[in-house]
Copies of this chain bind each other. A is one copy, B any other.
């Protein structure tokens, strides 16, 4: 059935998305390639393209097409209804944000990124504070412009995870805050600490080769993707051109391996979205919590499992024979599954990782509710780190300045990581139920059944279900903490034979 209105809308959404993808490329290039003094030029470029993207997203013709579609009776859950719902959401957002605001935000993002990178290098929070202050003010102003003046933090959450808010998240996080610290303590008491300084002198080209092998076997499409180096690992681009980054340390090969598997989880989601629908709600991800569930599932449930290493340990030894000569299989697995509280979120094990999120959620809420001043943030960071994680950072570089997110104004994003861990565990137990012998596949280097299951249940659906609906539809259970706590206990606590 030809439908010119719908086709016109879809074409406009895709063209808008193409401009977004150029912003993504500029940002990827900024973090991977940009010469140090060229930040001024990149800021100009981001401003111009952000303005062009904004103009396309706020094109009144999109509003007319949507209004025409909305007069029809759209069956709930139909593709048309899904497209109309999210296109309306994006259009309202774009058309309510003035172009000046969008330009200012793009310039601020670039300036704040560079200020953050410098401040972190010098461990000098004061050099970043004024830009963080401006980012918070911009986020509050944006919430106000969008009609969320009363709930600016919920607006920030909803931006990343449509339908979620602090009221939904807080009780889940309260449970984690009650259950996780004692679990982490019990694990620490019962597991031997891995040998220190086990890994020395792993040449970076060989690390890269190993990671390329792993990612290829997981299903990453190298003909539509790359792996590069940046200060902070991320997955840029989309399924049409997917750009992972990692960072290499010759004395810590596990860092690049697991950050790459994590980012590849994001990439597999992007590459699994229906290619023909990319740029429309039918071809875009549900939200960041589900996105993180994909990265976490591949990183933790798959990548840190014994069957995974049944296959990859010999390949690792082929590349790093001398370096691993004195490292037994038990040593290797102990290092991969080490649980030890530390100051850095991205270095954290899968148990204490969630504690890092709880403290960030608490601080973000306090910042947005005016209960915490920027100037007091480093002190509050260290206090919460001590209280929740059990560690005090040595300095601000390893404390309040460790994460890139706030420099880009990405508030309300951190909760997605812990929600993603919960969803990953729920999906994992469901996949184990439905795919008998799944872990035997891993031991043979075959991950295709799991990937197909995720493609069918998660990736191919686009935004047809929202986060909470999707979890119920796939797992039969509401989004909750149970599966995560079960997974951590089963993996890390000694269990009866």
Contacts and interface: CB of A to CB of B under 8 A. Distances in A.
Contacts of A190: none
A26 B22 contact: yes
A33 B29 CA distance: 10
A41 B15 CA distance: 11
Given A19-B48, A25-B29, 18 more contacts: A14-B44, A18-B45, A18-B48, A19-B49, A21-B44, A22-B22, A22-B26, A22-B48, A22-B49, A25-B26, A25-B45, A35-B223, A35-B226, A35-B241, A37-B223, A38-B223, A38-B241, A41-B241
Contacts of A225: 35
Contacts of A221: 37
Given A52-B52, A240-B40, A21 B45 contact: yes
A340 interface: no
A350 to B, nearest CB: 31
Interface in A20-37: 21-22, 25-26, 29, 33-37
A65 B14 CA distance: 34
Nearest to A37: B223
Interface string A217-252: 000011111100000000000001110000000000
Main secondary structure of the interface of A (DSSP, over half): helix
Interface of A: 14-15, 18-19, 21-22, 25-26, 29, 33-38, 40-42, 44-45, 47-49, 52, 221-226, 240-242
A19 B22 CA distance: 11
Contacts of A14: 44
A270 B326 CA distance: 55
A258 B396 CA distance: 47
B41 A21 contact: yes
Contacts of A34: 241
A432 to B, nearest CB: 33
Contacts of A36: 223
A299 B386 CA distance: 61
21 contacts: A15-B48, A19-B48, A19-B49, A21-B41, A21-B44, A22-B22, A22-B48, A22-B49, A25-B26, A35-B223, A35-B224, A35-B225, A35-B241, A37-B221, A37-B224, A38-B223, A38-B241, A40-B240, A42-B241, A49-B52, A52-B52
